[in-house]
Amino acid sequence: MAHRSPNCPQITFQDAAEKGRKVFAEEKQHPAAKEVVAKDLGYSGLNGRSLTLIGALRQYGILEGSGDAMRVTDDAVAYFVRDDGAEKREAMKRMVYKPGLFAELNAQFADALPSEGNLRHILVTKGFSEDSAADVIRVYKANSELVGGNGGEYTESVEEQRPVMATATITPAKPIAGPLAGAWTWPLSVPRGVNAQLTLTGQFTKADIVRLKKQIEFLEESFDEVD
State the pairing for strand pair 176-177/169-170: unpaired
pLDDT band at residue 93 using 50, 70 and 90 as cut-offs: very high
Mean pLDDT of 64-68: 90
pLDDT for res 193: 54
CB 222 within 8 A of CB 84: yes
Name the residue among 150, 114, 128 with its Cα closest to residue 9. 128
pLDDT for res 157: 32
Mean pLDDT of 41-67: 95
User: What global pTM score does this model have?
Assistant: 0.63
- Of 75 and 186, more confident: 75
CA distance to 20, 36, 38, per residue, from 26 (Å): 10, 10, 12
* 116-120, 157-161, 169-173, 214-218: range with highest mean pLDDT: 116-120
**E strand or H helix at 108:** helix 100-108
> How far is Cα 13 from Cα 99, in angstroms, rounded to an integer?
10
CA 111-63-69 angle, to 5 degrees, is: 155
> Does 50 have pLDDT greater than 50?
yes
